[in-house]
Amino acid sequence: MKIAIAGKGGSGKTTIAGILTRLLAERGQNVWAIDADSNPNFGVTLGVAQDTMKSAKPMPASILKEVALEGGKTAMQLAMPARQVAQEFGTRVSDRVTLLGMHTIEHAGAGCACGGHARVRNLLSGILKEEGVVTVVDMEAGLEHLSRGTDRHVDMLLLVTEPYFKALETARRAAELARELGIPRIVAVANKFRGEDDLAAIRNYADKHGLEIVGEIPYDEEIQRADLAAEPPRLDVESAAVSSVRKLIGRLEI
């Protein structure tokens, strides 16, 4: 199973990606966590130390090679098996979780992150069921990953939205683009709602635009505390958010 998690900036997609990854590992599944955001924070939600994050290297351009196609055209594809990419360039978070980074913008004026998107797209294409892993991808905020087809080869797009028009509109637009890419399953998560009015607004919007809501995660002070402390949310304390993500896993049928 390959799951891409997307949404408007600030919607909580990285936090949910982190909790989801850790809960999957907790129940015995091997997970490749791919940070496909050029402003990477996936490692923080997984509990990776800051020094480790700073020393981790993103997947290099050398994982891809150019191949000749019919008609004189060329294309890029993985230069090595996906498992080798994970072993050589991944950061071991735990016995069950490996973190892979796409690209980090280190200098102003350095140009687009096109190469990073290409590496993630081709890696996802090369991950086979035989790998025996669940892949969770924290996508870049917004819609560019869909215009580049970065998540073309995932099995599911999980759209995280808050009870605000801009976040809901981002989810709707993302769903439309994902259908064009042919992503098999496109679902939404209602996040950070503070009451029934918030939840009703998300449900009504989703129903109007044909979005399937598979999870409802309330605003949780534990998430706020962890974020301010640059720590992963605690799993040993069954907070409202963690409990809701546990239920979400059941509905995702991973």
CATH number at residue 9: 3.40.50.300
H helix intervals, the chain? 13-26, 42-46, 50-55, 82-89, 114-126, 144-147, 165-181, 196-208, 221-228, 240-252
- Statement: residue 105 has pLDDT above 60: no
- Per residue in 149-181, pLDDT (tens digit) is 999 999 999 999 999 999 999 999 999 999 999
Query: Residue 171 sits in which domain range?
Result: 2-252
Q: Is the dihedral of CA 235, 240, 242, 247 positive or negative?
A: positive
Mean pLDDT of the chain, nearest integer: 91
- Count of domains observed in the chain: 1
Mean pLDDT of 186-208: 97
pTM confidence score: 0.92
Q: Which two tokens stand for residue 217?
A: 């995660």
How confident is the model over 36-75, as pLDDT tens digits? Answer: 988 889 999 999 988 888 777 788 889 999 898 888 888 8
